[in-house]
Structure 1
């Protein structure tokens, strides 16, 4: 099993953090992992994306031209990466900030109201964890205990008190994923 993922959005949405936590979760599940971030010089407010590869076997290169899954968090990323999802693959998006929803008919499309759910949870910074939970519902590539270990590994010790709140956000995202189109 190999899962090739692109997570893309604006800097400040937690794109790179989500990828890092997913990568650490894969490491905690004894998978081979590649984490390959890319962001513009603007950082917060600019575009950012990260490629994460989880595999049972060695990974030859983190550079990809197509993905099994795309997690899209803004319109610029939708315009760039929708076409790069493999036929039969998965595209997950948060409709907040998406003007033109995905149009492809050969992929599975899911929607997660991550912005709204994070606000309902009382902390908009959990947005990326809501989206991560949605992804894990669509593609259960790691177990929740691996995500908890991944959070422990990626967050500084002084922020470990935030882990329960983040796990709650992951669970809420898991429960809230909406299937828009199945192939």
Structure 2
């Protein structure tokens, strides 16, 4: 399948929000176990106005994967070097869009002078990030009640994880 990867803009927010909500609800069952309280907390900030604000923030770098006229993936890198979002519609998974989004974010991070990236992965996505060179650095409970895996990836020779990084997911910012 062919995808175009381009910067996300505020008018993409409603479609990107749908990607986030469907991916979490349909693909991350292993993580939320269909618990309505966990889902409500996890999805609580996934609405178009909030997503548009993430896209508008000058400290974030956001991308969407587009197939035809449809947004099928969304990713976001914060200025602090956190990969805060990397989600695909269920029907777009395992077709290269996630890898393309990740490669583009990593290139941007290098251009910005970042030496490492870090993220909090779901158990569902653990294999994906490990396969792309991310290193496991323990577990962290998210504010919405899901056990996440802290991963980091060196982008420069000799880069090490920053031991003083927050070990929780700041899901209010992305």
TM-score (norm 2): 0.34
**Which protein is richer in helix relative to its size?**
1
TM-score (norm 1): 0.33
